[in-house]
Structure formats: C-alpha cells, structure tokens
Structure 1
C-alpha cells in the first residue's frame, strides 16, 4: 500500500475535455499506487485517455470508474467507461486496425485494446457502450 492513497473505487464523470484530463490523472495515480511499471502506467494511461475521449465525443459523455483489482497473485488497475450514447453499429469495423472516424489520438479501439491486458466491450445501438480494460502488474 502507498501511504496516503485511497485505493477504493473512484468515479469520474466525463462531460468535458477537462474531465478527460482528470481521468488520465486518476488512472496514473492509481497505477503508480499499485506499482505498475512505468511502461505499463504509460500504456494504461494512453488507453484510458483514448477511451475517455471516445466516451465524450462519440458517447456524448458518461463516466469512468477506476479500481484496484487482484487475482490472488497480482494486482492491477481496472477502468470501466460507460455512456448512454448511440452505441457502436458495426463493432467489428470499429475494432479494425487503422479504423478511425477522426478526432482522438488515432489509436482507435483496436489500439487501446493492444495497450491493456484485458479488454471487454459491450454496446447496444441506441442504448450506449461499456468498455472495461485492465492492466496487471508483472
């Protein structure tokens, strides 16, 4: 445990560019606290930034929840992004390398997926999208 850092779940609304920055900062703080390597911190923060921006731009805003997770032998950071936007009509296309509709870091969902250890996406057209990512300590 890192002194002075509350490792309980933390929620952050995503409704502005400033909130995207707050998500990045929160993810970095928790990743440091659970002692992810600098490379893994950077990968997770980069993926979180892309997904937070997608939540804002394509989902019309929403939220992120950051939490510490354990699987018995290692710790990690799990981030859940959720919105009630239009959903993703063609998930296979959206997960294709190089696919972009403009805007973000140019990573797209496929890039964010490559940066984390676990990636799960649930989307329903007209109802929204929920993406869960986890980065584990090595």
Structure 2
C-alpha cells in the first residue's frame, strides 16, 4: 500500500518473506476481491494512527496471492498479482473499511463522476464520414 511509508501487509497470522521483502502479519481481511475492485477491513487498533495521518483516498494498492510449494526440494515460493488499483477514503466503524477500484477504471472518467457518460450528439443514418482515407456510412 502506497502510504507515505509503503506498507507490506500479509493477511496470514505470520510474516511472509518473498523476493527480498517481508510482508508483516497485519490483521487485514480482504473481502469481495474481483478484477474490478476489492474491500479491505483493517483492525482499528493497529491501523488507526497510520490511516488517520496518511489517509487512504487515491493511494495505490497491489494485492498478491502467495504460493509455497512445500513438496519441492528446496521449497519454492512465488506471488501472483491478483489486483492493482487505487483506494478510496476510509469508512470508520469498529474497524476501518476501505474500498479500492482497478486502476484502468479510475482513469476512465473524472474522479467526481458518478454516472456513465452521455452522448449529446449522434450522427444521422446515411451520413458519410471520411476515416483514414476511407468513407464510412453511418447506419
């Protein structure tokens, strides 16, 4: 998570080391993970100070799934990127809830937009358009 000091958090009860970095056991729960978005639940006690100080809105986040092959000799481990996006502002209850959206969806429209774009001008049927040296007829 791209806080002022980047955080590497694991959802496991133990720390995870991979690729020269350590993801620390965090108590964070990942909910409703899809290619378009995710919801994160942070334990209030452990994350309150950081999230109040740095905020979450507009900060990048990447979520990896970590795999360890204990049958291999020596053991092998790898992580696969499952989600890359941008976090929204935090909601505060008995825990801290943060939603995130996939990065390409963020750049598709202005951040304040909440509705789909609307066409204000449509070409008439039969109208001809010059397109890269060809003529296209609207149907």
Answer yes or no: same fold by TM over 0.5. Answer: no
Which of the five TM-score ranges fits, normalised by the shorter chain?
0.3 to 0.5
Give 1 or 2 for the bigger CA radius of gyration: 2
Question: Using CA pairs below 8 Å that are at least 6 residues apart, which structure has the higher relative contact order?
Answer: 1
Tell me the TM-score normalised to structure 1 length.
Answer: 0.32
